[in-house]
Structure 1
Amino acid sequence: MNIARASLGNLGTFWRSLPSGPASPLAIYWAAFALSVAAFVAEYFVGSHVLQLGVLLVLISFVPCGLAWLLSRELFRKEAERKAWPALVVGVLYLTCLINYLAPESHVGGMLGVVASMKSLIGSAMLLMTFVEAIDGMNASASERRFRLSFAGGYAGLVTVSLLADQPGLDAWQDEFRIVAASLALMGASLAVLYRRRNPLEVSKTRKTDRSRSVPCDPALAARLTTLLEVDRIYLEPNIKVADAALRLRTPDYKVSQCIVSDLGFANFNQLINSYRIQEACDQLLQPDLADQPILSIAMDCGFGSIGPFNRAFKAHTGMTPSAYRRQTRIAESVR
């Protein structure tokens, strides 16, 4: 089981490679998935020797398929598309697994049978949806398509290996098949997370162009919104939403959104706000009296809630990380 041992041994190294500061949802979902897989692998090796530890490891390893789905959503969906309900569904799946695990065998049937059916149905749906998340959005760049196809292909291969373990003649090696598949899944997920951190999701410009042609301009509203941004500096408010801006402008939300797309040339409100926040961050990073200010502190001062979204937005706008931007500026100043 060298693959399993290598997978478990690399967890600490991978975690240390993640940026410091508040953990991003991507890092959190990867950590949860890694913990679940590590517990599954560890239970195979030590669960039968230490009974209480084995029970704990089983409880931790209940829903790797659900966590894989949450991770794939974070890998392939934009921040604006985050929803709370997928995590709730995974919570329901965990609860059904817990009930089935704790229920005495003599009580199987009736409501417990319904719970078991629900567990099987939700688990199967999540297995499929993990694959769907990857292949949904193939109208992206060539590199993004390759990433999605590699993820989907690798995932489909691992699911196939797990299903083969149930076939007659191979069922004697069922546990070993699944340990190898789980270990490879963790390695693949770790590589996918590293790729996504270095290559954030691209913002599609096609919809912005099409909508700007179909929506009439409103220069007066655009001027009022610009004043709200440049004078009132609402972008410094961490939780500002388009509804908040519309309320201050006394204008319906949809008109503000139309104005952002057609007049100001941004895909959505978040992209507009982030452009001002990043400009503010660039200004602060250039100030000599803030040379020792932590980047996390600057991110929070500019309206970002955590370091992960700030790093991704900053790199998307400037082509480099905040640290590299600050370092390059210092080098340029020293040359002068």
Structure 2
Amino acid sequence: MLMKIAQIRIENDGMFRHGLPFGPVAPLTLYWAAFALSVCAFIAEYFVGGIVPQLGVVLVLIGFVPCGMAWLLSRELFRQETERKAWPLVVVVTLYLTCLISYVVPEGHAGRLVGMVASMKGLIGSAMLLMTFVEAIDGLKASSAERRFRLCFAGGYAAIVFVSLMNDQRGLDVWQEEFRIVAATLALVGASAAVLYRRQNPLAQTKRPKSAAGHPALALRLERLIETDHVFLEPQIKVADVAERLREPEYKISQCIVSDLGFANFNQMINSYRIAEAKRRLARPDLEGQPILSIAMDCGFGSLGPFNRSFKAMTGLTPSAYRRQAAVQ
């Protein structure tokens, strides 16, 4: 009885940490943290900037590009990128630098070059506002639940942009800063809710189509190594370890995984074998009393959180729900 209670507490704790917009460091977590920091700095400057000028300057420098952070966050929410490109970050850094130049250079000294910088700032900022919206709606052919999530995000985002632009209306310009603070607060709440949803409902992992050209002989050796030696059960297994055992270059192993086996990368391949093994164990009646944490560790995962996320991404169910479903069938 005590073991059962401990198992439930461990599973609930794992799901609780899995559902929050923080926990194990991941790109989604980092982008959310950067966006939240930028927005909080923007809000804090409104309240304390006039009281403590030095702190106000620091907060302004931190809160320059919330629209850029929102765009990066939306890319992470709605894209499944196996290799993240550097150019989006470069664009955001460029926007930050243009904001910095516009802030540092006094208006009376603004020459042609500074005017060009200001124009560039406006152009990049406007493009990011639009692209954040596009990221959400570019994928409406997904499942109904995913489509509802994307539409809610896009609708909420559009409403927030509308609120922030209301300050330009005649008679409302006296409330300009207040409108921006309200919009920033709503954006932070909405972004946190979106991250919470995405962590509980990861994007479905898709397997790439196999390429006609590749390394079929190496693919057979690789599959034999994984399925016979069960290397996927080793928590710290890396592509370098597999390459060493097969006596092949790492790049050749990586190419084989993508072109011949159809996986996006090494980690997705290993996790697919781990989840398949976990499904077998969760469905076994004789292992009904084994804690899910123990099964996750036995299958090669280092902790419960990554196991829960990978399992749900590949099966659409939590491990507990899958075990209950298997017991009924």
- TM > 0.5 fold call: yes
Amino acid at match of 1:260: L
Amino acid at match of 1:179: I
Q: CA deviation at 1:91?
A: 1.8
Change (3 A) 1:251 1:28: closer
Listed one character per residue, the Cα deviations across residues 150-179 of structure 1 (whole Å, up to 9, x for unaligned) are 111111121122223212222122111111
Amino acid at match of 1:257: V
Equivalent residue for 1:5? none
Listed one character per residue, the Cα deviations across residues 52-92 of structure 1 (whole Å, up to 9, x for unaligned) are 22222211211100000011011001141522321222122
How far apart in 2 are the matches of 1:16 and 1:269?
23
Equivalent residue for 1:103? 105
Amino acid at match of 2:312: K
Change (3 A) 1:126 1:291: closer
Gaps of 5+ in 1: 1-13
Q: Is contact 2:257–2:265 with CA below 8 Å preserved after alignment?
A: no
How far apart in 2 are the matches of 1:159 and 1:187?
14
Listed one character per residue, the Cα deviations across residues 14-44 of structure 1 (whole Å, up to 9, x for unaligned) are 9996387532211221121112112212222
Change (3 A) 1:49 1:250: closer
Listed one character per residue, the Cα deviations across residues 258-294 of structure 1 (whole Å, up to 9, x for unaligned) are 4213xxxx676553222124457789998x9999989
Q: Is contact 2:19–2:196 with CA below 8 Å preserved after alignment?
A: no
Change (3 A) 1:247 1:129: farther
Q: Within 5 A, what are the aligned runs for 1:17-36?
A: 18=20, 22-36=24-38
**Is it true that 1:257 corresponds to 2:258 in the alignment?**
yes
Q: CA deviation at 1:309?
A: 5.1
- Identify which of 174, 185, 188 aligns with 1:186: 188
**Is it true that 1:276 corresponds to 2:277 in the alignment?**
no
- Identify which of 155, 165, 183 aligns with 1:163: 165
Q: Is contact 1:134–1:152 with CA below 8 Å preserved after alignment?
A: yes
Change (3 A) 1:239 1:161: farther
Listed one character per residue, the Cα deviations across residues 200-225 of structure 1 (whole Å, up to 9, x for unaligned) are 101347xx5xx46x959987554222
Equivalent residue for 1:315? 312
Greater mean deviation of Cα atoms: 229-238 or 118-127 = 229-238
Change (3 A) 1:302 1:281: farther
How far apart in 2 are the matches of 1:134 and 1:49?
39
Q: Within 5 A, what are the aligned runs for 1:1-336?
A: 18=20, 22-204=24-206, 211=209, 215=212, 220-230=217-227, 231=229, 233=231, 240=239, 247-248=248-249, 257-261=258-262, 270-278=267-275, 298=297, 302=300, 310-317=307-314
Q: Is contact 1:234–1:240 with CA below 8 Å preserved after alignment?
A: no
How far apart in 1 are the matches of 2:52 and 2:206?
52
Q: Is contact 2:137–2:150 with CA below 8 Å preserved after alignment?
A: yes
Q: CA deviation at 1:195?
A: 0.7
Q: Is contact 1:70–1:86 with CA below 8 Å preserved after alignment?
A: yes
Q: Is contact 1:284–1:290 with CA below 8 Å preserved after alignment?
A: no
When the two structures are aligned, how many residues end up with a matched partner?
Answer: 301
Change (3 A) 1:238 1:185: farther
Gaps of 5+ in 2: 1-15
Among all aligned residue pairs of Structure 1 and Structure 2, give the percentage whose two residues are the same amino acid: 60
How far apart in 2 are the matches of 1:251 and 1:20?
36
Q: Is contact 2:39–2:63 with CA below 8 Å preserved after alignment?
A: yes
Q: Is contact 1:96–1:116 with CA below 8 Å preserved after alignment?
A: yes
Q: CA deviation at 1:302?
A: 3.6
Q: Is contact 1:24–1:308 with CA below 8 Å preserved after alignment?
A: no
Q: Is contact 1:76–1:133 with CA below 8 Å preserved after alignment?
A: yes
TM value normalised by structure 2: 0.73
Q: Is contact 1:23–1:308 with CA below 8 Å preserved after alignment?
A: no
Q: Is contact 2:278–2:295 with CA below 8 Å preserved after alignment?
A: no
TM value normalised by structure 1: 0.72
How far apart in 1 are the matches of 2:161 and 2:21?
31
Q: Is contact 1:29–1:67 with CA below 8 Å preserved after alignment?
A: yes
Listed one character per residue, the Cα deviations across residues 180-239 of structure 1 (whole Å, up to 9, x for unaligned) are 11111111111111111111101347xx5xx46x95998755422212423383785665
